[in-house]
A = this chain, B = another copy of it.
Amino acid sequence: MRTHFQQSLTEVSALLVEMSHLVAQAVAEASEALRTADGHRAEQVISGDSRIDAFQAEVEERAIELLARESPVARDLRMVVSALQLAASLERAGDLARHVAELARRRYPELAVPAPARATVTEMGQLAHTLVSQAGQALADQDIEAAARLAVLDDSLDALHVKVFTIAREELTDPGQAVDLTLLSRYFERIGDHAVSIGRRVEYLVSGTLHKQGAVEESHEVTVGGGQP
């Protein structure tokens, strides 16, 4: 027989998985709005972000209720705390998708991404979407191998991020375009980091071992704008 605790935790997990679908969709839609200069689509991503925020609030509320009512300890306790952290990562990834959409809307009806960088930024959007989708799937399936593969996928996203900086340096002439492009590339790169961070938590929930969180973040974040040292 399942305990009441397990049942509540399953409900919280289901909320997180549903939240991951919303975030993945927001990333896909924001990328598409950016690629096609679609103001209406951008608008929908922006207004839809409050739904993602509401999911975070609900996960937080349920997790706190669970802590208060069941007083879990050991692994159960760490699972509830992890749920809070997963919701925070997803919420933040949703914000970043919204930022992409805001930039697309701001430049509408122009394309926000300058021509030399379009293919690369489109690829970044696709990879960021894949990362969030697969993080959500790893969470749903409690699949530790799928979770571990996210870091490899994120390396490809980081490589594109660095490539965008090279394009900005070598192929753009307008510093204003470089500003937009840098922001967009950074947003996608950070979405990937959050997916990796979700993957690490899934690995932890399944295996009971967590890589040091700071180290996780650091090893996956690209922080300098490339070019000569």
Q: Are A225 and B175 in contact (CB under 8 A)?
A: no
A62 CB → nearest B CB, Å? 12
A73 at interface by CB-CB < 8 Å = yes
**A106 to B225 alpha-carbon distance, docked (Å):** 9
Q: Are A88 and B88 in contact (CB under 8 A)?
A: yes
Residues of chain B contacted by A180 (CB below 8 angstroms): 225, 227
| Majority secondary structure, A binding face | helix
Task: Map CB proximity to B onto A173-198 as digits: 1 under 8 Å, 0 otherwise.
Answer: 11111111111001000000000000
With an 8 Å Cβ cutoff, the count of chain A residues facing the other chain is 58
A: residues with CB less than 8 A from B are 49-50, 52-54, 56-57, 60, 64, 67-68, 71, 73-74, 77-78, 81, 84-85, 88, 91, 95, 98-99, 102-103, 106-108, 165, 168-169, 172-183, 186, 212-215, 217-218, 221, 223-227, 229
